[in-house]
Structure 1
């Protein structure tokens, strides 16, 4: 009876060590070009145009518009990352290799949600 306990304990230990290898979720890195997202999204373009079209557009209104755009981008990028199992979403100015470009997908998602 003592051997059965040892065998069961070894089996559970081996199963515990091997199981995460089979349950591992493949996650990828995504890349976004901020300028292209703003140009591709009519909603974000409208926010940017409203802030720069006013004659008395000072640094505060421009900063508020940029803050609102970044808030929208962060929220929608987080939802898109959770939906498509992206481990991270990076701005492409610093990326030289790798990553899936989700610029158009993010712009379409923002327009769909906010229009």
Structure 2
């Protein structure tokens, strides 16, 4: 196997790993969206709202950091030489669910 074939194989393997992470980020974003919907409903009558709200923001912060890391990796990978037509696949972005508006009611 020559060096270019070896490099191409390594690039494809790295791209597959990044794709797996991107899919995981997308799934986690959908999970965070569903969590936010449940949180919105539970905040109406739950004494646990502070804990739920904290957990939701912690998950959102981790997702943002993971998504940023994926973008950095994808950008770095895009700077390498790809087989024709491969680089557009590498720069695919993960879809974000629409934000949910929540009204917080103080029980004080």
Q: Which has the higher strand share?
A: 1
- Same structural fold, with TM-score higher than 0.5 when normalized by the shorter chain: no
With normalisation by structure 1, the TM-score equals: 0.35
Greater C-alpha Rg: 1
